[in-house]
Amino acid sequence: MARLSTDLHPPAVAGPAAREEADRSDRVDRVTLIRPATRWPRLDLRELWAYRELLGILVWRDLKVRYKQSFVGIAWAIFQPALIAVVYTIVFGRFAKFPSSGIDYPVFVFAGLIPWMYFSSALSTGASSLVSNVNLVTKVYFPRLLLPGATVFVPLVDLALGCVVLVFLMWHYDAFPDGVVFVAGAGFVLLAALTALGASLWLSAVNVRYRDVPYAIPVFMQVLPLLSGVPFAIDQAPEKWQWILSLNPMTAVISGWRWAVLDAPEPQWGQVGVGVAVAVLIFLAGLTYFRSSEPRFADTI
């Protein structure tokens, strides 16, 4: 006996519209759940990863407009620390006779200026990142953390260009490090980035409500290099003052960076640990204040 087929409706060939509808049903749409602000810092890494392309766009945009319509252009990344190094060499090296751990003062002070200029640039632009992007903040949803976060990546280009000049000075003054300790320099740059990001989160949120921040930062930046050991060697200061200055994370950054790239005296790791702990506290405090203030950004700005 012949077997009857029970398939009374053979499958039809799916058309373009049907295939598009099937593809649409297979896609998982991202849902953003808006919650009340919490007292504890909350960092949604999955959301930040989902917006990683936007972070790249913000970084590339800032890089393109950084020296746009300037006559010298990107060469300012070299001229600025070089001119400051000349002034420091004359004032602090020749007249004040600041200690430099036996290293020629020009290369000593220029090596300290490179991470300091990175921190200064990241903090200054990060503090105004929300106010300068008012159209994005008020009209489009995205993780607001990306705005101060992008400012940490942009000055890395200036830091890389400054390192090219530093290598030339190291060759001229024969100040190359022994071994592979120069690899540790990346860790101290990361510490500077963490400190700048934490301070930028707090200052950018404060700047939304109080526009005094852009006027206060330049005053603060004129004093902080002296408290970070840029023009002098930290290990030559009295031990009591070394521990007091270690509360500033940039002190650990500059002394550690010089040890890594110039074979300067090794920093005291206990003091470096204090600087790392303070940097982590600054980041957590900045993240907490930023996240608690974030729901009011669009209305206040």
Q: What is the pLDDT of residue 16?
A: 52
The closest of 131, 101, 292, 122 to 204, measured between CA atoms, is 131
CA distance 298 to 114: 36
Cα-based angle 249, 184, 194 (whole degrees, multiple of 5): 35
Q: Is residue 41 part of a domain?
A: no
The closest of 91, 117, 127, 87 to 253, measured between CA atoms, is 117
Q: What is the pLDDT of residue 25?
A: 44
Q: Is residue 273 part of a domain?
A: yes
Q: Is residue 260 part of a domain?
A: yes
Domain extent at residue 188: 55-300
CA distance 200 to 124: 8
Q: Is residue 91 part of a domain?
A: yes
Is the Cβ–Cβ distance between 279 and 188 less than 8 Å? no
Is the Cβ–Cβ distance between 82 and 109 less than 8 Å? no
CA distance 297 to 288: 15
**HSE-up (13 A, CA, CB side) for residue 240:** 0
Is the Cβ–Cβ distance between 235 and 255 less than 8 Å? yes
| pTM: predicted TM-score of the whole model, two decimal places | 0.85
- Taking only the tens place, the pLDDT of each residue in 190-245 is 999 999 999 999 999 999 988 888 889 999 999 999 999 999 999 999 999 999 99
* Amino acid in position 251: T
Q: Is residue 14 part of a domain?
A: no
Q: Is residue 48 part of a domain?
A: no
Domain total for the chain? Answer: 1
Q: What is the pLDDT of residue 147?
A: 94
CA distance 184 to 261: 9
Q: Is residue 13 part of a domain?
A: no
CA distance 91 to 200: 31
Q: Is residue 42 part of a domain?
A: no
Q: What is the pLDDT of residue 66?
A: 80
Residues of the chain with pLDDT under 50: 1-14, 18, 22-28
